[in-house]
Chains A and B, each alone.
Chain A
Amino acid sequence: MDGRRENGRVPIFLDSFLPGLCYPPSVSTASPVHSSVIIRHSAIVRVTHWVTVVCFFALLITGAEIVVSHPRFYWGEVGNVLTRPLFTLPIPSSRDTVPTGYGYVMPDRNGWSRYLHFEAAWVLVLTGLVYAIAGLFTGHFLRNLLPVRGDRNWAAFRRVFAKSFRRAPPNQLESRSYNPVQRTAYLLVIFVLFPLVIWTGLALSPAFDSAVPLAVAALGGRQSARTLHFFISWLLVFFLVVHVAMIFLAGFWSRVQAMVTGRVVVSPEGK
């Protein structure tokens, strides 16, 4: 069977990126009534995925610790406890200079949180660069993430949503390839949310702003940048929650196994 074309779809397995780490395109030629093992994720995708997972949790936890030291948000250039906030989080603070009304000061974790936040950010950015460069060279983005030509419309999106509202199990095709909603979500996370969260984070660095003042000016000031950094982080958390929920829906172990070993077992009925 030619695994590359099915219902006019583009390739249904992900090629390995590096020649040295390449797996043969081992889509089974066995008769369709039997289960077959296909290569789902390339080595680069799997390694960068799990490094990103570790970094993301490190950034999330340390980011929360840093926010706790000043759980007030502002818009514009400046903001402090003497200025009116845009909003405040209903939590105690780790600093007694912040009037939270709780009469309780949380332990201060900013020191190691800031160290780890930036270290994890470096690993994430470098991993992202490897992923992006490899993805461009191998056509991963065009082939596996850009919705295929016939799917760039609302009808294709509606079909995916309708199917998941029926809680139908994934069919064989979906075990091999991403559906148009997945593709769009992944592209948004990779090319919109991650660049935005990096930009708004860098804009919080006074030294970086001295070299690239436009980085913070274009966001409307440093407190706006901080508030945007906070909201974009929440969008990434929202993606993570939906992503994990969909993995449970599709079959948790099968999908986790695919992202660890690269292989997924496809039975004729799907799964």
Chain B
Amino acid sequence: MKNISRRKLITSGLAATAGIAGLAAASRVARRYGLIPPDHGGIYGAGETLTYAAQRLLTRHSLAREFPRSMISKTPFANETAPPNDAFKRHQAVGFSDWRLAVDGMVANPASFSLSDLRSLPVHGQITEVVCEEGWSYIAEWIGTPLAGVLSAVGLLPQARYIVYFSIEPNWWESIDMADALHPQTFLTLGMNDGDLPVSFGGPLRMRVPRQLGYKSVKYITRIVATDSLKSFGKGLGSASPESGYAWYAGI
């Protein structure tokens, strides 16, 4: 028994020290490289942080899968949204000609874009899958201008760490980190399947984040804010989703 306790003592002592040192180092590295999600608190925070950190390390530059034109879904499903509010109906009545996208926060030149301003920026198409957290999915061609181009047009400041985006519908907002904000497939989407973007699919302007689940692709975008901290937005959990119990990071 005596022999065992000495060896046990040394081994567990070393293991505990290594463990604590490892955790401390890991948390410093995680903070340094932005691997901690805003909803890292609470009983699910540890799992959420592991998921976000692991996926961010694995997917910083990876591209969402694109599909051949023949795989575009004949029956895309438009998830239900709340009935449009009065502000949206006024825009709809005039064919969205007055729709504006305000871009401010940590940018050198805050600006407001009309839909035709956005169309005059480089417009691309991508055939990607919309994946809902419930389990269903469809493939469509999404036509729009990369968010990265809009951000560089307004002079995004280097200290910005998140892009927060708001729908015209109240309490509908999300945010993404710079890896997704500057990602070439993150689009301000204006069209779908060679036509205008239907209202049910988020027209006239939808944020499309194809490497994350559908709920990050907020419909009816009117405002974008660049920020270095999410603390002052809502309850400080990063977006409206964690406030209603859903993870901020939706890459899984």
Nearest residue, chain B, Cβ from A217: B65
Known A95-B134, A110-B246, A209-B65; further 12 A-B contacts with Cβ < 8 A: A69-B135, A70-B134, A72-B136, A78-B73, A79-B136, A80-B73, A80-B76, A114-B133, A206-B212, A210-B211, A222-B129, A226-B135
Contact with B along A109-135 (1 / 0, CB 8 A): 011101110111111000000000000
- Complex contacts, B20 vs chain A, CB 8 Å: none
Chain B residue numbers with a CB within 8 Å of A116 are 44, 47
Residues of chain B contacted by A66 (CB below 8 angstroms): 133-135
Q: With the chains together, A160 CA to B160 CA distance in Å?
A: 66
Q: How far is the CA of A122 from the CA of B213 in the complex (A)?
A: 20
Q: Which of A18-26, A28-36, A44-52, A176-184 contacts B (4 or more CB under 8 A)?
A: A18-26
Report B-chain residues with C-beta under 8 Å of the C-beta of A20.
Answer: 7-8, 11-12
With contacts A83-B75, A206-B251 taken as known, whether A70 is within 8 angstroms of B135 at the C-beta atoms is yes
**Bound state CA distance, A112 and B138, in angstroms?**
25
Whole-angstrom CA separation of A222 from B213 in the bound complex: 13
Which A residues lie within 8 Å of B7 (CB)?
19-20
Nearest neighbor of A216 in chain B, beta-carbon distance: B65
The distance from the CB of B56 to the nearest CB of chain A, in whole angstroms, is: 9
Measured between C-beta atoms, what is the minimum distance from B127 to chain A in Å? 12
Q: Is B64 an interface residue (CB 8 A)?
A: yes
CB <8 Å contact, A78 and B137: yes
- In Å, the complex CA distance between A247 and B4 comes to 33
Contacts of A70 in B (CB 8 A): 132, 134-136
Q: B109 at the A/B interface (Cβ < 8 Å)?
A: no
Residues on A with C-beta less than 8 A from B48 are 115, 118-119
- Residues of B within 8 Å of A204, CB to CB, are 252
In the complex, the 9 A-B pairs of residues with the closest C-beta atoms, listed nearest first: A119-B47, A111-B245, A207-B251, A115-B44, A82-B75, A205-B252, A20-B11, A80-B136, A80-B77
CB-contact partner of B77 in A77, A81, A115, A123, under 8 A: A81
- Does B131 reach chain A (CB closer than 8 Å)? yes
Q: How far is the CA of A111 from the CA of B80 in the complex (A)?
A: 18
B contacts, CB < 8 Å to A: 4, 7-8, 11-12, 44, 46-48, 50-51, 55, 58-59, 62-65, 67, 71, 73, 75-77, 79-80, 129, 131-139, 210-213, 244-247, 251-252
User: Could you tell me the dominant secondary structure of chain B's interface residues?
Assistant: loop
Cβ of A121: which chain B residues have Cβ within 8 Å of it? 47
Please encode chain A, from 1 to 39, with 1 for each CB lying within 8 Å of some chain B CB and 0 for all others.
Answer: 000000000000000001111100000000000000000
Whether the pair A81, B244 counts as a contact (CB closer than 8 A) is no
**Complex alpha-carbon distance, A208 and B12, angstroms:** 36
**Closest residue on chain A to residue B65 by CB atoms:** A213
User: Are A211 and B134 interface neighbours, CB within 8 A?
Assistant: no
Let me know if A211 and B71 touch, CB within 8 A. Answer: no
* Closest Cβ–Cβ distance, residue B195 to chain A (whole Å): 18
Nearest-neighbour CB distance to chain A for B184, whole angstroms, equals 12
The digit string for A179-217, where 1 denotes a CB below 8 A from any CB of B, is 000000000000000000000000011111111010010
Q: A20-B7, A20-B11 are known contacts. Are A118 and B51 too (CB-CB below 8 A)?
A: yes
Is A223 part of the binding interface, using a Cβ–Cβ cutoff of 8 Å? yes
The chain B residue sitting closest to A97, CB to CB, is: B80
Q: Which residues of B contact A156 (CB under 8 A)?
A: none
The interface residues of chain B lying within 8 Å CB-to-CB of A119 are: 44, 46-48, 50
- A79 and B137 contacting across the interface, CB-CB below 8 Å: yes
CB distance from A254 to the nearest CB of B (A): 27
CB-defined contacts of A114 to chain B, threshold 8 Å = 133, 246-247
Query: Contact mask A68-96 → B, CB, 8 Å, 1/0?
Result: 01101000011111110000000000011
Q: How far is the CA of A95 from the CA of B139 in the complex (A)?
A: 21
Which residues of chain B have C-beta atoms less than 8 A from A260's C-beta? none
